[in-house]
Each structure stands twice: as C-alpha cells, then as structure tokens.
C-alpha cells in the first residue's frame, strides 16, 4: 500500500525559503513511470498544483510559481522535496504531496495523498 | 491555463436528497476530468476519474458524466458522511487546475 508523508517546519519567516519533504513508502520513487507532486491549499481556499517530478528526475512546475520553486528527489531515502523561495504571507497553506500513481499521468488523477502539513509564513 | 468553474459554490441539502454539481472547463478537456471529496482537516479523496469512472471503494451513489467542457457529479440518496467539499480537476494539460469547490452543508 503506497503511503506519502510530509515533513518540515510549520513556520517560515517572510522572504525566507520554505522546505518540505515527502517520504514515500510502499514503492520506490525511482520506479519507472511514476510522478510525484506537490499541491497546496491556503486556509479556507481551493487547491493549487505546485509541480511534479518524474521518476527520472524531470520536473514540471506551475508557471505561476516556477521562478520560486524547485522539486528534487533523494532516491536513497525514497523522498522528494519542495523548496519555495522568497515566501510571503500568501504562501501560507496546507501543503500536500500527492501522486497520480495508478494512472501514471502527469496531470492525474491524484489517487494517493499525504495527510498535509500546514506552513505559516509569519515573522 | 484551463480555468475550471464549479457551481454552485455552496449548497444545503438533506439526507436522502439527490444532488448535482456542475463543472465547466474554459476549453475542451475531452474526458480528462476528476472529482474529489474533501472533509475538514483531511486530504482530498479521489471519487471519480476520467469523467465517469468510479474510483475503487467509492459508493455507487456517486456518479459522473460529461465530456468536452461540461461535467456533472451526481450523488444519489445523500448520506450523512457525504457532507463535505467537492472539487473538480482537469488532467488534460499542465498546469493542472482545480475548480473552486462546492461546499455541501446540512439543511
């Protein structure tokens, strides 16, 4: 059974870098054909796709965030991570890692999700 | 980007009701439309994929239809556990985009 678990600081200072990690169990993130992604949800608002990484390391980002986002993988730890630079209060959100595991399509559907982690941007 | 517009944004309903939520894409997305259910404090849960395919384990009272730009999610005989927020999502092209959500509350 595939499981995803986010981890990282719950509080980030404005203008600093937000860093989160998703630990995957139940399969290897380097297994052929799988995408691993990040999706966020500001409090009381809707869902926004941040970006995804393919098993071979190719990354895909939402153009609205592309200049500030990096997604990378650590296959030795079976983890993939998110870095978001120059954060502001508008980046306060619950951040989910998710995978369109069964379909193997970049855009989804996302059938596996972590439980989410709230990141607050505040001084 | 493909814009996804859901309606209504909120609704009140009673147990046993039959409900329909609509989702409209700003351009044709064929059948690349997915529906999710989200309860407070929880991650979204996939209900319907490819517009009309029921995800494993999801009750058969949930159904989806549509293609092109117009889609619907129908819930037959609403159950207490169905009160939640529902989101549509297009998987036709990147960036992946979601509808704004439909919050369902008890009447």
Q: Give pLDDT tens digits for B30-42.
A: 999 999 999 999 9
Backbone angles phi, psi at A11, to 5 degrees: -135, 130
Pull the structure tokens for residue B42: 């929880």
Pairing state between β B102-106 and B10-13: parallel
Burial of A118 (0-12, 13-18, 19+ CB in 10 A): middle
Q: Do A64 and B95 touch (CB under 8 A)?
A: yes
pLDDT of residue A67: 97
| Residue A100 touches partner B, C-beta closer than 8 Å | yes
> Which candidate in B71, B96, B100 is best for mutational testing of the A interface (most A CBs within 10 A)?
B96
CA-based nearest residue in chain A for residue B47 = A111
- Confidence at B20, pLDDT banded by 50, 70, 90: very high
Q: Which DSSP symbol is given to B61?
A: T
pLDDT of residue A14: 98
Angle, CA of A21, A25 and A28, to the nearest 5°: 90
Compute the nearest-CA separation of A83 from chain B (Å).
18
Compute the nearest-CA separation of A105 from chain B (Å).
8
pLDDT in tens, chain A (123 residues): 999 999 999 999 999 999 999 999 999 999 989 999 999 999 999 999 999 999 999 999 999 999 999 999 999 999 999 999 999 999 999 999 999 999 999 999 999 999 999 999 999
pLDDT of residue B8: 97
Mean pLDDT of chain A: 97
Residue numbers in A near B101 (CB within 8 A) = 46
- Confidence at B97, pLDDT banded by 50, 70, 90: very high
Q: Give pLDDT tens digits for A29-47.
A: 999 899 999 999 999 999 9
Residue numbers in A near B93 (CB within 8 A) = 107
| Residue B42 touches partner A, C-beta closer than 8 Å | yes
| Residue A54 touches partner B, C-beta closer than 8 Å | no
Q: Facing residues of B5 across strands?
A: B24
d(CA A33, CA A55): 6
pLDDT of residue A117: 98
- Confidence at B68, pLDDT banded by 50, 70, 90: very high
Q: Which DSSP symbol is given to B55?
A: P
Give helix then strand counts, H and E, for chain B.
0, 11
Share of chain B above pLDDT 90, in %: 98
Residues B84, B39 contacting (CB under 8 angstroms): yes
Residues B95, B1 contacting (CB under 8 angstroms): yes
pLDDT of residue B95: 97
Compute the nearest-CA separation of B58 from chain A (Å).
12
d(CA B33, CA A9): 34
Angle, CA of A20, A10 and B38, to the nearest 5°: 80
């Amino acid at each position: 059974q595939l499981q995803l678990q986010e981890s990282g600081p719950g509080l980030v200072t404005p203008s600093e870098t937000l860093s989160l990690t998703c630990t995957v169990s139940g399969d290897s993130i380097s297994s052929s054909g799988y995408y691993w992604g990040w999706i966020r949800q500001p409090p009381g608002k809707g869902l926004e796709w941040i970006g995804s990484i393919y098993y071979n390391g190719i990354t895909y980002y939402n153009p609205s965030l592309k200049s500030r986002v990096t997604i990378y993988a650590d296959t030795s730890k079976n983890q993939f991570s998110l870095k978001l630079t120059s954060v502001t209060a508008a980046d306060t959100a619950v951040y989910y890692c998710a995978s369109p595991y069964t379909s193997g399509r970049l855009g989804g559907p996302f059938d596996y999700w972590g439980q989410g982690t709230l990141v607050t941007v505040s001084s | 980007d493909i814009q996804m517009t859901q309606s209504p944004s909120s609704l009140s309903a009673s147990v046993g009701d039959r409900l329909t939520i609509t989702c409209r894409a700003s351009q044709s997305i064929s059948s690349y439309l997915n529906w999710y259910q989200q309860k407070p404090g929880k991650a979204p849960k996939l209900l319907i994929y490819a517009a009309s395919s029921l995800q494993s384990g999801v009750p058969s009272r949930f159904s989806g239809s549509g293609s092109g730009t117009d889609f619907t999610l129908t819930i037959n005989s609403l159950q207490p556990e169905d009160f939640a927020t529902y989101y549509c999502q297009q998987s036709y092209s990147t960036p992946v985009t979601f509808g704004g959500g439909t919050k369902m509350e008890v009447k």
